Amino acid sequence: MSKSKWWKQPRTVLLIISGITTVFTLISELFLGLPEIWAVALYGVAIIIGGIYPAKSAWMDLRRRKLSINTLLIVGVIGTIYLGLWEEAAGLVVIFSLGEVLEAYAVNKARDSVRALVELAPREATVLREGREVRILADEVEIGDRVLIRPGEKIPVDGVVVSGTSTADQSTITGESIPVAKISGDEVYASTMNGRGALEIEVTKLAQDTTLSKIIELVANAQGDKGKAQRFSERFGEVYTPIMFVIAVLMVVIPTLFFGQPFDTWLYRALIVLVVSCSCSLVISVPVAVVTGVGNAARNGVMVKGGSYMETASHIQVVAFDKTGTLTVGKPSVTDIVSVSDLSKEKLLGIAGALEKLSEHPLAEAILQEASKRNINLPGVEEFDTLTGRGAKGSINRTTYYIGSPRLFSELNVKLNQDQLKQIETLQGQGKTVTLLGTADLVLGLIAIADRPKENAKQAIQRLKTTGVKRIVMLTGDNRLTGEAIGRELGVDEVRAELLPEDKITAIKELQKKYGLVAMVGDGVNDAPALAQADVGIAMGVQGTDVALETADIALMQDNLDQLVYLIKLSRKTVAKIHQNIGFSLALVALLIVTALTGVMSLTTGLLLNEGSALVVIANAMVLRKYQMNKANAIGNE
């Protein structure tokens, strides 16, 4: 990623020499009486020096059977020299090369997001080996090494805190500016800033596999992804440039052969058409906006995997949410334990905890926490098996127990009596999720668990509606009463409950058919099938989750719905910039061609306007760099 300064690069040096030679020759010719033969020689030197890079590019394009602006420039310079306009030919080379250097500089600034991310990671780490502190390169740190992080230091690698307490500024990873408390057992990430306490961490990932490295890779790859607008721009250029070549040839042939017009006059006009027709601004109008938009998103903790996803996100009609962990906190707690057998509540909780200990379901953590809080010892489990979307089963002391939703026990043909059904309905009506524990023959008890909506979920949903999203839908595997209770509280338009993973895919398909483009927001792991079916799959709160970073189209690093509102608004602003740039470029090209055909414009003026338009397009796209998440979420802001 390291690059030499722009003014030290060979192309810039040659431009400076060519420019100085041209200006010196022009002044000497006008005011010092420089002989014409010397002036021609010096202009020739300026043309050769400044034309090296355009000529090389034109030759490479011709070898690929492609006509480019470099080809047009070389043809224009040769034609101008043929007409004896040496000073104008030298001016063409200097102006064109100056425009190319300025464009490269501006586009390079837009790509700074990746380079800035790379520079975030410290190059060295202090490793504790055999009781000594050893300073080594971060690339040489191994998994399992103990790394000492002093107060105020950047954390060099991903790891888990094993001793010490502090805070960490994780804005480089999540975009969240408020420092997060770190104690033993907490994860920390490379490039984040340690607070006032010293930490000792155990390394969990090599330097090339850290969350920051994944982000850098995603952003770099995103810049190569092409959306519809960029593909349109390229297809347009492939057809349009050869057509303009043909028009230029006809401009010379028809007036001179069929109407007796002066050859030199029409050759000059044809050269102007050639030079102004291949618009630099049109070529870069899309990529510079995409690069700037994706880079802005990365700085605010939103990883967009490419321009195509940015474009699609801007046209989203429906946002479908997973409930647990997305709209709700995802850390539910046990509220009720109801025994419907001769087992005590503690015995029920012990069996449930033993089964859930091996489960990855979000509700399992609530049962385990409750068991831990009551100091209940969990028995051993054999033959454990996860029943996808339903629950789990396992054998304890030769008895097979099942734990899961009422739907699981319905499929097992376990009959519930009226009292049990009424208790379940009452708890669900309170927005609680009811988990049943039992055998293949009867239900032994009920455990009610409640989750609460995230603090800003309701406000974020309201702001999403103001962005023009037509429908907000909640998809949940939870029962209907619980889902609807949460949905009413948050203000979503529709709740689809009791869905298995495959049911969520069907729901997404139905929404796509009815409303158009659908975004699915989930945790990126459990909802992977629905995320894949949606037009844009958005994983949320994925810091440190490699699978989510790799499978989702867009990843929100924070567990914060404000990032979703920001993403939708940023994508729309990015696409608006793309449309503005394309419209401006096409209008300018049309104006330049018309004025060139009528002989109103000179060759040098045409090139100046053409190159200047590219800078206007870049400047317009660079406005996106200033768009911030807090501005997107300001009340009343579009």
For the annotated catalytic residues, the residue numbers are 322
Give me 411's structure tokens: 């499929």
Asked if residue 406 lies in contact with residue 414, where contact means CB atoms within 8 angstroms, the answer is no
DSSP-based helix, strand, coil % in the chain, nearest 5: 55, 15, 25
Other Cβ atoms within 10 Å of 393 Cβ, number = 21
Kindly provide the b/e burial profile for residues 67-89, where b requires at least 16 CB atoms within 10 angstroms of the residue's own CB.
bbbbbbbbbbbebbbebebbbbb
Alpha-carbon distance of 277 to 266, in angstroms, equals: 16
Q: Of the candidates 333, 241, 332, which has an alpha carbon nearest to the alpha carbon of residue 283?
A: 241
Of residues 539, 626, 628, 547, the one with CA closest to residue 175: 628
Cβ atoms of residues 553 and 532 within 8 Å: no
- Run of H or E including 149: strand 146-149
Helix (H) / strand (E) containing 595: helix 562-597
- What angle is formed at CA 47 by the lines to CA 43 and CA 52, rounded to 5 degrees? 160
- Antiparallel, parallel or unpaired: β 536-540 and 518-522: parallel
- State how far the Cα of 32 lies from the Cα of 260, in Å rounded to an integer: 40
Angle at 44 between CA 256 and CA 32, to 5 degrees: 105
Position 571, amino acid = S
Q: Is residue 544 within 8 Å of residue 187, measured between CB atoms?
A: yes
Return the closest-CA partner of residue 570 out of 316, 317, 313.
Answer: 313
Alpha-helical (H) ranges within 378-535 are: 406-411, 418-429, 457-466, 480-490, 501-515, 528-533
Nearest to 141 by CA among 190, 212, 186, 199: 190
Distance CA 466, CA 462 (A): 7
How big is the CA angle at 391 (ends 387 and 395), to the nearest 5 degrees?
80
Q: What phi and psi, each to the nearest 5 degrees, are found at residue 551?
A: -95, -30
Largest pairwise CA distance in the chain: 115
- Nearest-CA neighbor of 156 among 118, 195, 115, 189? 189
Helices (H), 122-185: 171-174
